[in-house]
Amino acid sequence: GQSLEQPSEVTAVEGAIVQINCTYQTSGFYGLSWYQQHDGGAPTFLSYNALDGLEETGRFSSFLSRSDSYGYLLLQELQMKDSASYFCAAPSNQAGTALIFGKGTTLSVSS
Amino acid sequence: GAVVSQHPSRVICKSGTSVKIECRSLDFQATTMFWYRQFPKQSLMLMATSNEGSKATYEQGVEKDKFLINHASLTLSTLTVTSAHPEDSSFYICSARVPGQGSSYEQYFGPGTRLTVT
């Protein structure tokens, strides 16, 4: 089976940096993705790590350590609009099947 | 980027009736689409994988006779909730893989359909 664990809630203030962790247990590993979902909206893709290290995309970065079965999403220069749920997700196998999602982390950014 | 649409966005139906939800890829062909359901403040739970021209693959615990999936064309998959009950009330979201990607790590999601069964 597969499971992805992440904290349920994180709070921060505008301009701050926040890190959302994700630990996973998977029968095989085919990379770790991150998605953002605003309340009532569709999930949108943020980033993907197939290999160890840091991937940077603007204010958002994602890190992966396969030896530790661990990854994180780093959000810098937080803005109010970043208040949303963030999900780590992993393909269930290599051949283009569906994603398995973590339970999601609700980020609340205050002024 | 590619767009996935869903229709309707909201639907209220009476217990015992059936509801059909459409998922369309607007500017690309999707041989595979995925259906998820999401309860408030919870994660997306995969229900089934919809393959064009063949039977859907259902996840364990999902009743295939209750949640009928049809993927009749490369741009349309439908989910029909049959004999709906209040416990079927949820947010249903479809997605499609990004064309050209071998893995499914990046998917385009539809805006979701909120189903309320009274």
Residue with tokens 């597969």: A2
How many angstroms away from the CA of B82 is the closest CA of chain A? 24
The residues in B 20-39 lying below 8 A from A, measured between CB atoms, are 32, 34
The two three-digit tokens of residue B27, written as one number: 């500017």
Is A48–B41 a contact, with Cβ atoms under 8 angstroms apart?
Answer: no
Determine contact: B80 vs chain A, CB below 8 A: no
SS3 string of chain A? CCEEECCCEEEEECCCCEEEEEEEECCCCCCEEEEEECCCCCCEEEEEECCCEEEEECCEEEEEECCCCEEEEEECCCCHHHCEEEEEEEECCCCCCCEEECCCEEEEEEC
Instruction: Pick the residue of A97, A100, A103 with the most B CBs within 10 A to test the interface with B by mutation.
Output: A97
User: Which residues of chain A lie closer than 8 angstroms to B32, CB-CB?
Assistant: 96
The pLDDT tens digits of the residues spanning B48-64 come to 999 888 899 999 999 99
The pLDDT tens digits of the residues spanning A8-56 come to 999 999 999 999 999 999 878 888 999 999 998 999 999 999 899 999 9
**pLDDT at residue A29, as a whole number:** 81
The pLDDT tens digits of the residues spanning A62-109 come to 999 999 999 999 999 999 999 999 999 998 766 656 788 999 999 999
Angstrom distance (rounded) from CA A73 to CA A70: 11
Angstrom distance (rounded) from CA A60 to CA A75: 5
* Nearest partner of B97 among B73, B74, B80, B113, judged by Cα: B74
* Nearest partner of B35 among B116, B107, B118, B117, judged by Cα: B107
User: Which residues of chain B lie closer than 8 angstroms to A50, CB-CB?
Assistant: 105
Other CB atoms within a 10 A radius of the CB of residue A67 amount to: 7
The pLDDT tens digits of the residues spanning B68-107 come to 999 989 999 999 999 999 999 999 999 998 776 656 678 8
Determine contact: B111 vs chain A, CB below 8 A: yes
How many angstroms away from the CA of B113 is the closest CA of chain A? 10
